[in-house]
Amino acid sequence: MKQSLQLKMGQQLTMTPQLQQAIRLLQLSSLDLQQEIQEALENNPLLELEAAEESFGDNSGEHSNDSSADSNDSHTTSASASNGDDAGVNDQLASGSDDSQLESSDAMAKDQLPDDLPTDSTWDDTYSAGSSSASSGGGSFGDDDEMSYQGETSESLQDYLLWQMRLSHFSEEDELIATAIIEAIDEAGYLTVPLEDILDSVSATIDTQAEDIGMEEVCMVLKRVQQFDPLGVAARSVAECLDLQLKALPADTPWVSQARLTVSEHMNLLASRDYRTLARKLKIQEGQLREVLRLIHGLHPRPGDTVIQQSAEYVIPDVTVVKKNGRWIVELNPESVPKLRVNEEYAAMSRHAKNPEDGQYIRHHTQEARWFIKSLESRNETLLKVSNCIVHRQQAFFEYGEEAMKPMVLNDVAEAVDMHESTISRVTTQKFMHTPRGVFELKYFFSSHVSTENGGECSSTAIRAFIKKLVSAENAKKPLSDSKIAELMAAQGIQVARRTIAKYRESLNIPASSQRKSLL
């Protein structure tokens, strides 16, 4: 085969580092973006926050208006603060500079100190004051300063039970059994390991006394653990958990005997909500059964949840929607993305650097800082443009609620803002919008459509809202079936199959009509 050269022309998209950075920032959530910004501030000495510099400038302006004596002190402190700032940057520049550059930087910093120091101060005092001033509160706390929050120590259910065990005066062998039982309890408070396995594990731990430990002793220790707080802990089933709580009630509690009989022998009837058969088994009337059910509903089928406190998860909205002069306006949340800028004072050092390596180091980080700021601006512009398009298309939702939601897919927004569909997917993932109706992820506003009787379209989100509204208003004694819900929606011109109703109902975590039936 003969080799030859050929000339071809074509178009190809090259993923430059700047484009890769912009795409990566675009798909980050607000929390991840704040972490990314913090890392950039720590790694790039040419990047800084605008707010920090403005507040520092305001403080220096206030000091300049004081009396002459105070002005002299504040001038000393301000000069020392500049010394501290320059020293901090010089430390960062030291990675690409030699000793001569450090000496020149130190000399420049010394020139900024006042020639005349107060008579009651020394060099060390002035330098220390400048360091604490430059730190902007990052050093020691004053008398009036609040200590910063250092985190919360949470106690697990096992820790709580082990604490009670140490106060119960168990023998050494019983304490080993109780510890094995407690370690086998899940977060809901149920014992997840058979007693036989617990006996085997304890016997393997104390081989010399294995013959003295039997199943009776394990059962006895289990009963003692089941008396711990919260009531119902270490149960092996829901029926046993509820029975333990009922057993702890006073003996003269009304209907407690019928309630214990229900959870111990007729749990299947209670789960299937077969109240007629259950009343016949208990030999009571419907009104009396209602009191029994009210007593059972007051129990805790997951006792562990009463001890373990779930930490609240907060969402920082990226954009805010408000109504001004009859129009819905989209605004970026300034708290989600802080304002950054390039430190021009340090960037100008590249023109006066005596060492070429120092100048290259400053120019490189200056360019990186500008690329990072430009990528953030591009992210904000894209997010604002997409959010405006969503609000414009879903104005009915903001006016009337979920039932007025219109069907919309990613391609609709992509064509409106002249962007690729993958870009719309990135910018709407893990991005949140704060509205008068609550905080929603941008993905929430996208949904498929269902044809209506008059030839229109209805959003699947609106159908879910209709289902939720119908179920919330139904008679608890005669809940609506999926077929009945389909008929009611067909009466409003929305043709939805029964299977579709069932699918949307399950997505809303709404049980079937047989499980929604209640006497209460």
pLDDT per residue over 159-186, tens digit each? 999 999 999 999 988 999 999 999 999 9
pLDDT (0 to 100) of residue 310: 66
Mean pLDDT of 78-97: 41
Instruction: Kindly tell me if the per-residue pLDDT of 318 is higher than 50.
Output: yes
Instruction: Kindly tell me if the per-residue pLDDT of 380 is higher than 80.
Output: yes
Mean pLDDT of 236-249: 95
pLDDT (0 to 100) of residue 181: 95
**Rg of the chain, C-alpha, whole Å:** 35
pLDDT (0 to 100) of residue 21: 84
Burial 443-470 (b: 16+ CB within 10 A, else e): ebbbbebbebeeeeebbbbbbbbbbbee
Q: What's the CATH number where 509 sits? A: 1.10.10.60
Calpha distance 69→164 (Å, rounded): 64
Which of 277, 306, 335 lies at the terminal end of a domain, its last residue?
306
Domain contains 398: no
Mean pLDDT of 182-195: 94
pLDDT (0 to 100) of residue 22: 83
pLDDT (0 to 100) of residue 211: 53
Instruction: Kindly tell me if the per-residue pLDDT of 446 is higher than 50.
Output: yes
Range of the domain at 178: 157-306
Domain contains 101: no
Q: How far is CA 507 from CA 41, 441, 446, 503, in A?
A: 43, 17, 16, 6
Domain contains 40: no
Between residues 211 and 286, which one has the greater pLDDT?
Answer: 286
Helix (H, G, I), strand (E, B) or coil at 94: helix
Query: pTM to 2 decimals?
Result: 0.61
Per-residue confidence band for 1, with pLDDT thresholds at 50, 70 and 90: low
- What does the mean pLDDT of the chain come to? 79
Mean pLDDT of 260-281: 92
Calpha distance 221→182 (Å, rounded): 11
- Identify which of 11-15, 378-382, 456-460 has the greatest average pLDDT: 378-382
Which of 239, 272, 306 lies at the terminal end of a domain, its last residue?
306
Q: How many domains does the chain have?
A: 2
Calpha distance 457→164 (Å, rounded): 61
Instruction: Kindly tell me if the per-residue pLDDT of 418 is higher than 50.
Output: yes
pLDDT (0 to 100) of residue 203: 84
Between residues 109 and 292, which one has the greater pLDDT?
Answer: 292
Which of 306, 321, 356 lies at the terminal end of a domain, its last residue?
306
Domain contains 225: yes
pLDDT (0 to 100) of residue 54: 47
Worst-scoring range by mean pLDDT, 69-78, 129-138, 167-176, 215-224?
129-138
Domain contains 185: yes
Q: Which amino acid is at 357?
A: E
pLDDT (0 to 100) of residue 112: 47
Domain contains 244: yes
- Looking at residue 193, the DSSP 8-state letter turns out to be S
Domain contains 460: yes
Burial 394-423 (b: 16+ CB within 10 A, else e): beebeeeebbbbbbbebebbbebbebeeeb
Domain contains 109: no
pLDDT (0 to 100) of residue 520: 65
Instruction: Kindly tell me if the per-residue pLDDT of 64 is higher than 80.
Output: no
**Residue 271 in tokens:** 């789960």
User: What is the tens place of the pLDDT at every residue in 112-144?
Assistant: 444 444 434 343 333 333 333 333 333 333 444
Could you give phi then psi for residue 12, rounded to 5 degrees? -145, 135
